[in-house]
Amino acid sequence: MPLGTRLKRRACGEPSSQARFVRNWLRNPLTTGAVFPSSRALGSTMARQVPLGDEGVVVELGPGTGVVTQCLLDHGVPASRLLLLEYSQEFCAMLASRFPGVAVLRGDAYQPGEAFRQALGGRPIAAVVSSLPLMARGEADREAALSHHLSAMPAGAPFIQFTYSPTLPVRPERISADVETLPWVLLNLPPARVLVYRRAATEVRE
């Protein structure tokens, strides 16, 4: 976009992505979770955990303004393989405009429902990249969400989640999974770390 157009839009009062994120947080602090969107340092760390050799769908939960989405594209995930599931109608409109080649679905990532299954179109899920504010929900809700998504994925496929908490949002033994904990991303505000959950290979899929 030309600089003049960007300046004109700002002069006309169009809010920036960060301003929209803060405004959405003020309206819905429990669903947005963080005051500021994730940094590119955090987004890149999450994106690097996504396998590129698989033809399955890469699902992003709670993409917000699209910082992590852009990192996934930069990592090499084709737009045709991305499916964004976002609760905020405003963010959905922004994402659809910013990433015209990416599928954007409005819905509840804790209870995806039939529309989500239809959007997958029978394709397997290669990875889930989550920016959900898990610690804002009760333990039972957190466990149910991860268990649901992991059960829909092949054993070993990554569920990638970031957290600001020094404790795990979901204990892996509670959902028959393994977890890999990556180092803290100090360039994020506040510092965060990336967790990679995987369904145990020995678990029988229902």
Digit-coded pLDDT (tens) for 30-40: 444 444 577 99
Of 23-37, 68-82, 166-180, 186-200, give the lowest mean pLDDT range. 23-37
- Quick one: average pLDDT of 17-41? 55
Higher per-residue pLDDT: 53 or 35? 53
Q: Per-residue pLDDT tens for 77-133? A: 999 999 999 999 999 999 999 999 999 999 999 999 999 999 999 999 999 999 999
Separate counts of helices (H) and strands (E) for the chain: 8, 7
Could you give the count of Cα atoms lying within 13 Å of 121 in the half-sphere of its Cβ?
10
CA distance 78 to 70: 11
- Quick one: average pLDDT of 158-164? 97
CA distance 51 to 107: 25
Contact 195, 175 (CB under 8 A): no
Q: 16 pLDDT exceeds 90?
A: no
Burial class (CB in 10 A: 0-12, 13-18, 19+), 200: middle
Q: 28 pLDDT exceeds 50?
A: yes
166 token code pair: 């020094």
With vertex at residue 134, the alpha carbon angle to CA 132 and CA 138, rounded to the nearest 5 degrees, is 145
